[in-house]
Structure 1
């Protein structure tokens, strides 16, 4: 079997585990666009045959230089590309493939569909993803939306997402309960945590409003924000104004400490889209609450199984968020350890690099 050629606009650092596993078990050449913006890129030296190619961005459109020549490279008959419709070079690559080397196969890996596409975007995506010989999607919701919009279900495969699972499992085996929150807050109140960038889209002020409302009802909660971002100063002012206990822990790249913080929290709350925060939290046994408008969500919301690995509330409804938090802790049959095991099972079964690799091998063989 020939080499697999992987072409990505850029390789985000969090993808290192799945890419390294592919590199180990498959014969791959990698071509990544040069990093642009503040997203941390993967170090090319982590992979055996990785090349950084220049890319240009103009009014939101991207062109990766020098990738079209790989179509006629006899070493490749399979290509795995980032499925980004705004990358014009990917359109050109797939169109030329149809004309010049139709026997070769091109596969796309992407979010795919969100369910909020307007008429124009629906048809652009249908044309773009239709050019591929197969599409790896992050979630079942995206696949469902794609099928409803007339796309071929036989070319749509759910691959989910993952973090550094092998490292996290090592930490999970070692971690134990600690008094980190009792020592900081001086009480045993339930702890609500968020881990990730403190950005506007995460709507973290809604956590504060909900906790302030619960406090008026006589239910006290502590809040921990692990991360930094442009919203931090506003949130600090809001916490003082509402007189609620918040630990602004700041950015933390020490996974041992992150594991302790997540494991010892009671519930992760992400009022905006949840993303990989859900995977990070559940990996260390902490359930997640986020909103239920799935067209405004990231694919990782699918890891949430109501009443087992978390729950949903009505988007932007502080009252419903209050009810969801309160209900989570008021269940007479609530068992923190049982919930922890539900979270572990969900992550171990579906959100690992090994799971992703198995899907890739199944459809690229």
Structure 2
């Protein structure tokens, strides 16, 4: 009986439905090994039979990390080990070597690039990929980019993607039809209030619009919340920003999202984009795809929203001023968003794609 082990540094809420779907397909042979997370409302204890908690991640010198209880996991011939693609996790590297020596098959699941990627970091990630039996990227775009590289060993490995997404079933029932004339003159930001989000740039853009600025609904929390609230007051935006805090109840998120005309994320967007597009919200994001997370693959400039010059508050203000009054164009963007997130970038499609990968690996080993 083939065992499938997923090694995860944490188990955020948005991953639970994906693993639950895999558990329904593979039964007790599928397990997820994870450490307690530190993502605030996004992480919580999980009681599912497929979830096995180990010790918290331990920081080592030089930016390296050790995950207790992982390096010595029992792995045997024919087992499939899905590793979280971070070469800084030394425990994962030890398990990778042991798995290969014991005849297990290894899936390296990670980014081809991320918003902080540099070329040397990409090369570092390619080293463990070279001994994996399959490489699983977050998006189809990353597969295309990887296969375009002159990497001699790539042709012997299976390369696939999940199109990383969220559970949209509840959202489909909660979202309202996008009719621009029936919505507030309002933007939505959803995500952690961290440096990566660059929300201060969004506040600067709204201040430039003065009395023409839309209301900004902020769903999320983080280390910078107090700093951002102080900045908003200094910019004279006290009445224009609604701070909802970290919401995990989808019905409460829907109440806010259904009022808004568009989604704005000034910084390095990831799954927040997928969440907003699931509500069919047009998006405003910056124009450098490699300085986003892989989920930017769902965005089409001029089709699902507009992009502004990265780091430029004036450019962002112009995009807001250009896009929000044009109801017809907003509705076209919304329809395009619905055509992308729903067919893919969902946990249902992710599970289908993962099952297809396992089938390919099984057939290749016969």
Shorter-chain-normalised TM-score: which range? 0.7 to 0.9
Which of 47, 64, 67 is the aligned partner of 1:64? 67
Name the structure 1 match of 2:315. Answer: 320
Name the structure 2 match of 1:266. Answer: 261
Q: TM-score, normalised by structure 2?
A: 0.85
Alpha-carbon displacement from aligned partner over 1:318-353 (angstroms, at most 9, x marks no partner): 1221222222235484253x4333222211111111
1:296 CA drift (Å)? 1.6
Rounded Cα–Cα distance in structure 2 between residues aligned with 1:316 and 1:252: 27
Distance 1:204 1:9, change over 3 A: closer
**Larger deviation, residues 268-277 vs 149-158:** 149-158
Which of 336, 342, 362 is the aligned partner of 1:342? 336
1:23 CA drift (Å)? 0.5
Name the structure 2 match of 1:235. Answer: 228
Distance 1:38 1:119, change over 3 A: closer
Distance 1:241 1:10, change over 3 A: closer
Rounded Cα–Cα distance in structure 2 between residues aligned with 1:238 and 1:69: 49
1:272 CA drift (Å)? 0.4
Query: Does structure 2 conserve the Cα–Cα contact (< 8 Å) formed by 1:14 and 1:42?
Result: no
Query: Does structure 2 conserve the Cα–Cα contact (< 8 Å) formed by 1:31 and 1:53?
Result: no
Which of 347, 350, 354 is the aligned partner of 1:356? 350
Name the structure 2 match of 1:96. Answer: 98
- SS of the aligned residue for 1:334 comes to helix
Name the structure 1 match of 2:304. Answer: 309
Rounded Cα–Cα distance in structure 2 between residues aligned with 1:227 and 1:116: 22
Where does 1:9-158 land on structure 2 (aligned, <5 Å)? Answer: 9-27=9-27, 28-39=29-40, 40-41=42-43, 43-46=45-48, 48-54=49-55, 55-59=57-61, 60-70=63-73, 72-73=75-76, 77-101=79-103, 104-114=104-114, 117-118=117-118, 120-151=120-151, 152=154, 155-158=158-161
Distance 1:50 1:322, change over 3 A: closer
1:5 matches 2:5: yes
**Larger deviation, residues 125-134 vs 244-253:** 244-253
Rounded Cα–Cα distance in structure 1 between residues aligned with 2:184 and 2:170: 30
Query: Does structure 2 conserve the Cα–Cα contact (< 8 Å) formed by 1:107 and 1:136?
Result: yes
1:32 CA drift (Å)? 1.9
- SS of the aligned residue for 1:205 comes to helix
Q: TM-score, normalised by structure 1?
A: 0.85
Rounded Cα–Cα distance in structure 2 between residues aligned with 1:100 and 1:252: 44
